[in-house]
Amino acid sequence: MIKINRDWESEITKRVAKIKEALADARADGIVFGSSGGKDSALVGILCKMATDNVLGVIMPCGSASNFGQDMEDAGLLGETYNIDHIVIDLTEVKHLLAQGIMAHVPVTQPASININPRLRMTTLYTIAQSRNYLVAGTGNRSEIHMGYFTKWGDGAFDFNPIQDLTKTEIFAFLEYLGAPAVFYTKPPSAGLFEGQTDEDDMGLTYDELDTYLLTGEKGKNHHKIEKAHRATAHKRARSFTND
């Protein structure tokens, strides 16, 4: 594991100021974000709450049993610990109806079906945001962005993202500094898109390998896989992010 040495108080000050600036520039009244029960959304929620009291975390289970179990419990814990308002909107039936309607005309592949989940979640967040005059906060980290490990027009869509320059390892260290509940450190990173899914299995490498490459430039056994994925997913970052 890479050792992270950062001035986290300075990071807090800088990121909270940026969030306040985004709200002021947009004349927005608050922030909404997808609260998944994972590390990334936890840090986003905490930072946003430091910037404004008007923060809403939306827990959006969509079919996967883990969404209704540990993920929902952890997202609820985030809200209770940091006094962040949160609601639950079950998208399972909505996805079923949409997929059914499409499949009546076009066969839907498994990857396409899986990616319906984050796209429905983003539609939900933007509906709430527009209704409340809120901004949508993104929750993707630098590691995922570099690999293109996000859904275009799903979790790759947002109004601002306060953690997009932080690797997964740095997010872990940041949460540890903040004294966040230990559950956010212990469970394997997962988008919760289907049962048993983990980020590292999907990418075919560990976050430690990926973040070592990103933070030090050290080329391990999987550096070709990292570089290949980065090239192949350039189109996803071109419209979603500014720090490719």
Q: What is the pLDDT of residues 57-98, one digit of tens each?
A: 999 998 775 676 788 899 999 999 999 999 999 999 999 999
In a domain, 1, yes or no: no
Q: Cβ–Cβ contacts within 10 Å for residue 148, how many?
A: 20
Distance of CA 21 to the CA centre of its chain: 21
In a domain, 203, yes or no: yes
pTM, two decimal places: 0.91
In a domain, 117, yes or no: yes
Residue 242 has pLDDT above 50, yes or no: no
In a domain, 197, yes or no: yes
For residue 201, give its domain range. 8-240
Q: For residues 15-44, give the mean pLDDT.
A: 97
Distances (CA, A) of 164 to 15, 44, 105: 11, 10, 38
In a domain, 2, yes or no: no
In a domain, 17, yes or no: yes
Q: For residues 25-30, give the mean pLDDT.
A: 98
93 by DSSP, 3-state: which? Answer: helix
Reported as a pLDDT band with limits 50, 70 and 90, residue 243 is very low
The pLDDT of residue 194 is 56
Q: What is the pLDDT of residues 126-143, one digit of tens each?
A: 999 999 999 999 999 999
Lowest mean pLDDT among 95-99, 162-166, 201-205, 216-220: 201-205
How large a percentage of the chain has pLDDT more than 70?
91
Structural domain count of the chain: 1
Q: For residues 25-44, give the mean pLDDT.
A: 96
Reported as half-sphere exposure (CB side, CA atoms, 13 A), residue 126 has a value of 14
In a domain, 226, yes or no: yes
Q: For residues 49-64, give the mean pLDDT.
A: 94
In a domain, 3, yes or no: no
Q: Which CATH number do you get for residue 163?
A: 3.40.50.620
Lowest mean pLDDT among 94-108, 123-137, 198-212: 198-212
